[in-house]
Chain A
Amino acid sequence: MKAGIQTRLFFITTLVLGSCLTLAGYILDRSFKASVLAGAEQQLRLVTYSLMGVVDFVDGRVSLSAELPEPRLNQPESGLYASVQMRESVRAWRSPSALTSDVPFPEHVLAMEPGEFQFTEVTDPAAPFYYLSYAVIWGVDDGTVLTFTVASETSAFERSMRDFRRNLLLGLTAVLLLFVAAQFLALRWGLSPLRQMADEVRQLEAGEREALSRVYPLELQGLAENLDRFVEHERRSRSRYRNALEDLAHSLKTPLAVVRNALSSVNGSLNGSGHGSSTELLREQLARMESTVHHQLSRAAVRGPVVVGSTVVLGTMIERLVRALRTAYRDRPIDVTQQIDPELRVRGDEGDLMEIFGNLLENAFKYTQTRIAIQANRVAAGIEICIDDDGAGIPEHLREDVLHRGIRADEVQPGQGIGLSVVAELVSLYSGTLSIDTSALGGARIRLVLK
C-alpha cells in the first residue's frame, strides 16, 4: 500500500521546513560571526587610537608619556596586549600585560604600508587571537614608521558566539517543533473529511448506512454526491431487475399452473381412451418446463455479493424463518434449538440469505423426525453454520449429486433437489462452501461456511 496523503504531506513539509530552518540558522550564524568580528576590530581600533595618544618615540625608543589608557594593558595576562614596533628594528615596545606571556605578535605586519589597518584572526587553538595592526609614519622628518599591534584573546567573543549559537539552536528547534505540531493538527483537521468519507464508505459497504452524509467541504461535495448517485442507481437498477424477474415469474408460473391442472383433469376423464400416452408426454414436458423456469428464475433472481452490500443479523433472520416454518409445520411437534450469537452478522443481500437459509431450514423441517439443531460459529474462514436434523439423512453416494446437479435424491418429497442446488449456487456465488455430512443427531448435517 502507498503512503497515506497525510504521511506524504507531513513528510514533504517537514523536509522543506527543516532545510529552510537549517539555511536560516547558517545565515544567522554567519552574520552574527561577522558582526562579532567587526565589533572586535572596532574595539581594537579604539585601543590603538588611545595607545597612539600616550606613546612617545624618542631616540629610537618607545616610551609612555602618560598612563596607559586601557587598564588591561597593564595587567599581566589580562587578554589584551599591545606592541609598538619600528620598521628595520627587532626591538619593540610591549605592553606590561604582554611581558609575562609569550604573545606571538605577527612579523609580516612590518611590511605594511603606512596608514593601513590590518585585522587578522588567528584560530590556532593553542593561542587564538585577534590582531589589529596599524602602520603610521611617526617622524615626519626621518620618515620613521611605527607599527602598532593590539592583540585580544578571542575567548570572550567566542563565548558570546557560543551563547548565540546555543540560543539560535534552541530557538530554531522550538520553531520546528511548534511547526510540526501545528502542521500535524492542521493536516488532521484538513484531511478529516477524507477520513470521514472513507469511514462512511466502509459503513455503506457494510450496509450500516444508506447514503453518505451531506456535510462535506466544497472540494469533496461533488465526489460524495456522485458516489451517492452511483449507489442509489445500483440499488434502483437491481430492484428494477428483480421486479422484472418477479413479473416474469408470475406471468410464467400462473399459466403453467393452469396447464398442469387442466392436464390432470383431461387425464382423469380420458383415462383408458388411448390418449394416455400423449398426456403423459405433455405432463413430462410440462414438468421439465416447470423445473427449468423455477431453477433459472431462482438463479437469475440472485443478487450476489454487491459492492455496496448489507449485513444481516443471522440470529434474527433464522428466528423469523423458524417461526414461519413452525407456522407452516404446526402439525408436527419439532424441537428446534439455536445456538447463535445474537450479534453475529452475515454480509450479503437479505433476499439471497433468506433463500439460502429458507431452503435449508425447510428441508430440515421436511425431513426431520423430532429435532433440528442450528448453530453458528466464527471460524478462520468466516462464519460456519450447521443445521442438523434427526431424519433419515442423505446417503453418502448421493451427496455430491444433490448439491451440484439438482437431481432429486428422494422422490417422495419433491422440490428438494432443485432447492439444494440453488442453495449451492448461491453459496458459491458468495464464495462460501456447502457440504453434507452425517449429524450426531442421526440425520443430515448441512454445513455452510460464509465469508
Chain B
Amino acid sequence: MRVLIVEDEAALAGQLVAALRSAGFVVDAAKDGEEGFYFGAEYDYDAAIIDLGLPRLDGMGLIRKLRTAERNMPVLILTARGNWQDKVKGLEAGADDYLTKPFQMEELLARLNALIRRAAGYSSPVLEHGELKLDTAKKDVRVSGAPVELTAYEYKVLEYLMLNPNRVVSKTELTDHLYEQDFDRDSNVIEVFVGRLRKKLDPLNPIRTVRGQGYRFFSENDG
C-alpha cells in the first residue's frame, strides 16, 4: 500500500513515516501543500494523510486540488485546531476522515486501514472471497479456515490484489505500491512472489495471469 503523508512538522512527519513503514506501508512524505500536490498528481496512492495547516497551499486547498485533478484516493486529515468548522469543511472538500492532534499512532493506522478497505468496497476488516479470508487487522490469511503462513511481501501482494478485485494489476503497479522507490525493480521478483503465493493458496486459484499485462484477482463471489 502506497501512502502519501503531507505534514510540515518534521518531527511528526518522521514519526509518521517510521510508523507507517513499520506497518508495511510504502510512504512518500511532502513538507508543504505544493509538494504534496506534486506527489499526489505524479504517483498513484492508496491513501493520503494530510495536515490541514500547511505552508504554501493549505490542506483544504490541497484536497480540493487533488480531487479536481481526479485523484480519488481516500484522504485522512490531521488537524491541530480540532474545531468542527474545519472538520466539516475538510470533509466537504473531499476528505474521508479526520483525526485531531495529538492522536495515537494505533488509531491512525486503524483509520488508515479502514479507509483503504472502504475505498475498495469492503465494509469489514476481513476480506472474504469464497473460502479465502484475509484479516487486514491481524494480517491473517486463511483458506477454508486453515491458517496460511505468508511472508510480509507475499501478504502485501495478496492484500493489494484483493483490494483491487476483478481488475488487471500490472507488475509495475504492484512494485509501485508495495516497494520503496529504491527497491530493486526487477519484475521477476514479483513473479516469484506470485508463484509462491499461488502454491500456498492451493487448491484455490484466485490469481490469474493476464498475458503481457499483469495479474487479476478473480473473485469467486462474482462467479
- Which chain A residues have a beta carbon within 8 Å of chain B's beta carbons? 246, 249-250, 252-258, 260-262, 264-265, 290, 294, 298, 301, 320-321, 323-324, 327-328, 330-331, 350-351, 354-355, 357-359
Contact = CB atoms under 8 A, between A and B. Distances in A.
Contacts of B101: 253-254, 256-257
Most buried by A among B19, B83, B88: B83
B91 A328 contact: yes
B19 A246 contact: no
Interface residues of B, number: 30
A301 B85 contact: no
A209 to B, nearest CB: 22
B128 interface: no
28 contacts: A246-B80, A246-B81, A249-B81, A250-B80, A250-B81, A252-B80, A253-B80, A253-B100, A253-B102, A254-B80, A255-B9, A258-B11, A260-B104, A261-B12, A261-B19, A264-B105, A290-B102, A298-B83, A324-B88, A327-B91, A327-B97, A328-B96, A328-B97, A350-B85, A351-B85, A355-B83, A355-B84, A358-B88
Contacts of B105: 261, 264
What are the 6 tightest A-B residue pairs by CB atom distance, in nearest-first order? Answer: A358-B84, A257-B102, A324-B91, A250-B80, A354-B84, A253-B80
A324 B83 contact: no
Main DSSP-derived SS at the A contact region? helix
A63 to B, nearest CB: 122
Contacts of A256: 101-102
B80 A327 contact: no
A259 to B, nearest CB: 8
A331 B123 contact: yes
Contacts of B114: 331
Nearest to A259: B102
Given A255-B11, A301-B83, 14 more contacts: A250-B53, A254-B101, A257-B12, A258-B11, A258-B15, A264-B104, A290-B102, A298-B82, A320-B88, A321-B88, A324-B87, A327-B97, A330-B96, A359-B84
A354 B98 CA distance: 16
Contacts of A254: 9, 12, 80, 101-102
Given A254-B9, A328-B98, A331-B123, A249 B80 contact: yes
B103 interface: yes
Contacts of A290: 102
B15 A262 contact: yes
Interface string B8-22: 010110010011000
Given A253-B101, A328-B96, A330-B118, A258 B83 contact: no
Contacts of B104: 260, 264
A390 to B, nearest CB: 20
